[in-house]
Structure 1
């Protein structure tokens, strides 16, 4: 009996893996067949994600819609990273999928275990249309990750000038400090050598004399990294 149970469990696991592969590949008919055979729509793969994570990653709208219609959890968190299907769609810049997930109840402020929100991810990657969508849907510009970093920190660090402008225009503070390092967005831009972002932050009122937890100013950081 134990052997039979183990074989059945292995078969169920293989079917679930097939579901994930089919979702990522955009094979709607295979997805339908697997779910019709009894595969759990919210079954996790060995990495801790659901089929909806895979479909969102690949931008497969028809499959995302079908999985949700069959009961897929739009707020399912990856077992390891804590990421949701919304995070996956943001990372891969699928605006249409993000819109759909939000319409179906996805939490716009859900966090990774690192504390990153969807807006952190979009700002880090410089995805302006995605940032605009998230802001229009109510994402907070003040949200902080586990280290105390904001979406503005992410954009400043990466040198995404247009995103920096957009976030500031929506109320992001240029004086906010990372709770671990004490750095401001101006420190971030100075460290990485982004003069356009530095100028935008200064124009918005950033303090050029702000000191981080080590006592360094943005100018100190720029000189240290030879910018």
Structure 2
């Protein structure tokens, strides 16, 4: 089998058929063995139907004396099981730090991958073995390697089930903004499962920015758990910080309802939306701040059926007549274009100008009629909107 980092699969090894292999398997299952045995004529790297070698078995059962004997006899440290797991994966998962060092010294591949991409570091973190993780990282383990169907990093795993591994990963530059295939980063996951510990060990890194300029405050602003947002605001995070697109945390909070569509408790959603917006406003967030495209938080809430956010922003003084975006539209234009009836009613109640035209010379009524949003058309007509301007 080739000595490389990626598991490509292999043919099954010969089944135990000789007394010599049986002796090796016996030894690997029991740690009370003689200090020296003549194994010159034994195939020390023989594998059974699962791909287990004597070294695999001894390490899995914690028989480290026996494992050491096999290593001294020249056992292959990179032999793989059929599922791709190496001896280093097992040692890392068991927390055998001395053995990990010995294996690496003898040439074990630190970033060896199983069929689904799991490395020894992932194995160590999954089993909550921070000491194993530290030894691996000191010896070149890739801290941001991904595995599994959704591309989880070791930090994703640590946040989910092994908080005692968070510190060693972050101190070795684990990316708190690394997105898995579901679009969730470790920082966002931490906000859902227990943000306190993450914030404690990250030592201010939540103030860092992702490659798109997104900060922890942006993510917390659309999180159902307001405790995270409170902690960051109290910690002095800039509430008007912008992403590369010019979006502020208030922009994010204003569209958070779309991230909570699966939440059945609408009262909880309403409470969370208003709470997050209010936290940011009280901390000095600019309610009419435009992003790079000229869109305000009110634009964001109106274009995504965010009726709770729209109502609260208007109640707190948001300007309903700001035009923005490529088509120079107001919040009323955006709400009318998607048939957002609740937002249309709120906007009209708070003085949105019904006669304003967008960059294409369309009124809100025209946009609603063109998309056959008849309920919206009726409301706009009831408010004395001319058929044309």
1:11 aligns with 2:147: no
Tell me, in whole angstroms, the C-alpha distance in 2 between the residues paired with 1:195 and 1:15.
Answer: 46
Which residue is equivalent to 2:165? 30
- 1:85 matched residue in structure 2: 216
CA contact (8 A) 1:59 1:97 kept: no
In the alignment, the residues of structure 2 paired with residue 42 and residue 94 of structure 1 have an alpha-carbon distance, to the nearest angstrom, of 26
Gapped regions of structure 2 (runs ≥ 5): 1-106, 112-137, 147-152, 258-272, 374-389
Distance 2:368 2:251 in 1: 24
- How many residues align? The count is 215
The aligned residue for residue 58 of structure 1 is: 192
> Given the alignment of the two structures, is residue 140 of structure 1 paired with residue 276 of structure 2, yes or no?
no
Q: 1:46 to 1:141 in 2, by over 3 A?
A: closer
2 CA distance for matches of 1:184 and 1:173? 10
Query: Aligned-pair distance for 1:146?
Result: 1.8
- Provide the rounded CA distance (Å) in 2 between the counterparts of 1:173 and 1:76: 31
TM-score (ref. length: structure 1): 0.80
Distance 1:217 1:185 in 2: 12
User: Alpha-carbon deviations, 1:128-163, whole Å to 9, x = none?
Assistant: 222122222221111112211111111112233332
Deviation (angstroms), 1:20 = 4.7
Question: CA 1:14–1:174 in 2, change beyond 3 Å: closer, same or farther?
Answer: closer
SS class of match (1:67): helix
* CA spacing shift, 1:124–1:55, aligned 2, 3 Å: closer
Which of 40, 56, 72 does residue 204 from structure 2 map onto? 72
Task: Choose from 232, 248, 251 the match for 1:117.
Answer: 248
CA contact (8 A) 1:19 1:31 kept: yes
Q: Deviations over 1:178-203 (max 9, x none)?
A: 14211001101111112232222122
The corresponding residue for 2:339 is 193
Rg comparison, structure with higher value: 2
TM-score (norm 2): 0.49
Distance in 1 separating the partners of 2:278 and 2:158:
31
* Mapped contact 1:20–1:54 kept (Cα < 8 A): no
Is the alpha carbon distance of 1:138 and 1:56 closer, same or farther for their aligned partners in structure 2, counting shifts above 3 Å?
farther
How many Å separate the matches in 2 of 1:217 and 1:141? Answer: 25
Distance 2:145 2:348 in 1: 56
Aligned-pair CA distance for 1:91 = 3.0
Deviations 1:4-24 (A, max 9, x none): xx986741536995345313x
Contact 1:48 1:78 in 2 (8 A): no
- The 3-state SS of whatever aligns with 1:30 is helix
Equivalent residues of 1:74, 1:105 under 8 A apart: no
Q: For 1:214, what is the secondary structure of its paired residue?
A: coil
1:205 paired to 2:367:
no
Pick closer, same or farther for the CA change 1:117–1:59 going to 2, 3 Å: farther
Q: 1:175 aligns with which of 321, 346, 350?
A: 321
